[in-house]
Amino acid sequence: MEHGDSHPRKGTERGTALRMAATLFLLLLLPPAGGANAEPLSPAAAPPAGVRERLVAGSPQELLVLFDDSDAEADAARLRRGRGILHDDEEVLAAKARLFTVTRRRVLAHLPAGQFATLREYSHLPMAFLRFSTAEALDRLLAGPEVLAVYENGILYHQLTQSLPLVKQPQAASLGMTGAGTSVAVIDTGVTYTHPAFGSCTAPGVPAGCRVSASVEIAPDDGSLDDNGHGTNVAGIVAATAPAANIVSLDVFTGATTTFDLVIAAINWAINHKSAYGIVALNMSLGDGVKYASPCSSKSTNPFVAPIAGARSAGIIPIASAGNEGYTDGISKPACTPGVVSVGAVYDANVGSRSWSVCTDSTTAADRVTCFSDSASFLTLLAPGALITAAGSTKGGTSQAAPHVAGAVAALRGAFPGETLDQTVARMTSGGVPVTDFRNGLTLPRLNLLAAGNPPANDSFSAAQQIAGTCGTLSGVSWNATKESGEPDHGGNTGGASVWWKWTPSLTGTASITTHGSGFDTLLAVYTGSAVGGLTQVASNDNDGSPGGTSSVHFTAEAGTVYRIAVDGAGGAEGTVALDWSLVPEADLSLTLTAAPPSIQIGEEAALALSVANDGPSTASAVTLTASLPPGMQLITASSGCSPSGNIVVCSKGERVAGATAGASVLVRAVSAGLLTVTAQATAETADPEPGNNCTTADVEVTEAPPAVPAVSPWGMAFITVVLGRFARRRICGNCEKRKVN
CATH of the domain at 485: 2.60.120.380
Please indicate whether residue 326 or residue 44 has the higher confidence score (pLDDT).
326
* Domain annotation covers residue 719: no
* Domain annotation covers residue 600: yes
Q: How many domains does the structure of the chain reveal? A: 4
- For residue 330, what are the β-bridge partners? 375
Question: Residue 59 is which amino acid?
Answer: S
User: What's residue 518's pLDDT?
Assistant: 96
Tens of pLDDT, residue by residue over 549-585, are 999 999 999 999 999 999 999 999 999 999 999 999 8
**Cβ atoms within 10 Å of 537's Cβ, excluding its own:** 15
Find the mean pLDDT for residues 115-137. 97
Same domain, 206 and 246: yes
* Domain annotation covers residue 322: yes
Residue 15 pLDDT > 60? no
User: What's residue 486's pLDDT?
Assistant: 95
* Domain annotation covers residue 725: no
Same domain, 475 and 434: no
Residue 391: band (very low, low, confident or very high) from pLDDT cuts 50, 70, 90: confident
CA distances from 238 to 21, 345, 402, 494 (A): 38, 15, 9, 38
User: What's residue 36's pLDDT?
Assistant: 27
CATH number at residue 689: 2.60.40.1530
pTM: 0.76
Beta carbons of 523 and 579 less than 8 angstroms apart: no
Among 153, 188, 211, the domain-final residue is: 153
Same domain, 82 and 23: yes
Same domain, 148 and 160: no
User: What's residue 731's pLDDT?
Assistant: 59
User: What's residue 616's pLDDT?
Assistant: 87
Beta carbons of 547 and 469 less than 8 angstroms apart: no
Same domain, 580 and 611: no
User: What's residue 705's pLDDT?
Assistant: 82
CA distances from 258 to 153, 287, 668, 712 (A): 10, 10, 108, 142
Average pLDDT value over all residues in the chain = 90
Q: Which residues contact 30 (CB under 8 A, 6 or more apart)?
A: 75, 78, 79
Same domain, 445 and 469: no
Residue 157: band (very low, low, confident or very high) from pLDDT cuts 50, 70, 90: confident
Same domain, 143 and 181: no
Residue 31: band (very low, low, confident or very high) from pLDDT cuts 50, 70, 90: very low
Tens of pLDDT, residue by residue over 321-377, are 999 999 999 999 999 999 999 999 999 999 999 999 899 999 999 999 999 999 999
- Helical H segments across 90-162, by residue range: 90-108, 135-143
Find the mean pLDDT for residues 422-432. 96
User: What's residue 163's pLDDT?
Assistant: 83
Same domain, 237 and 343: yes
Find the mean pLDDT for residues 455-470. 96
Whole-number CA gyration radius for the chain: 47
Same domain, 327 and 225: yes
Same domain, 17 and 39: yes
Please indicate whether residue 30 or residue 684 has the higher confidence score (pLDDT).
684
User: What's residue 390's pLDDT?
Assistant: 84
Find the mean pLDDT for residues 699-711. 82
Same domain, 564 and 618: no
Beta carbons of 684 and 621 less than 8 angstroms apart: yes
Residue 26 pLDDT > 90? no
* Domain annotation covers residue 3: no
The residue range of the domain holding 617 is 587-703
Find the mean pLDDT for residues 195-203. 95
Tens of pLDDT, residue by residue over 650-681, are 999 999 999 999 999 999 999 999 999 999 99
Tens of pLDDT, residue by residue over 233-263, are 999 999 999 999 999 999 999 999 999 999 9
* Domain annotation covers residue 572: yes
Residue 594 pLDDT > 60? yes
Same domain, 437 and 466: no
User: What's residue 392's pLDDT?
Assistant: 80
Beta carbons of 655 and 685 less than 8 angstroms apart: no
Among 433, 452, 471, the domain-final residue is: 452
The lowest-confidence range among 37-41, 83-87, 549-553, 579-583 is 37-41
Please indicate whether residue 28 or residue 165 has the higher confidence score (pLDDT).
165
Percent of the chain with pLDDT over 90: 82
Percent of the chain with pLDDT over 70: 89
User: What's residue 174's pLDDT?
Assistant: 84
CATH number at residue 250: 3.40.50.200
Burial 325-334 (b: 16+ CB within 10 A, else e): bbbbebbbbb
Among 115, 134, 153, the domain-final residue is: 153
In this structure, the strands spanning 605-617 and 661-670 are antiparallel
* Domain annotation covers residue 727: no
d(CA 244, CA 410): 9
Contacts 24+ apart (CB under 8 A), 695-699: 695/591, 696/591, 696/592, 696/593, 697/593, 698/593, 698/594, 698/595, 698/598, 698/608, 699/595, 699/598, 699/675
* Domain annotation covers residue 553: yes
Beta carbons of 16 and 10 less than 8 angstroms apart: yes
Residue 707: band (very low, low, confident or very high) from pLDDT cuts 50, 70, 90: confident
Find the mean pLDDT for residues 711-723. 69
The 3-state secondary structure of 215-270 reads EEECCCCCCCCECCCHHHHHHHHHHHHCCCCEEEEEECCECCEEEHHHHHHHHHHH
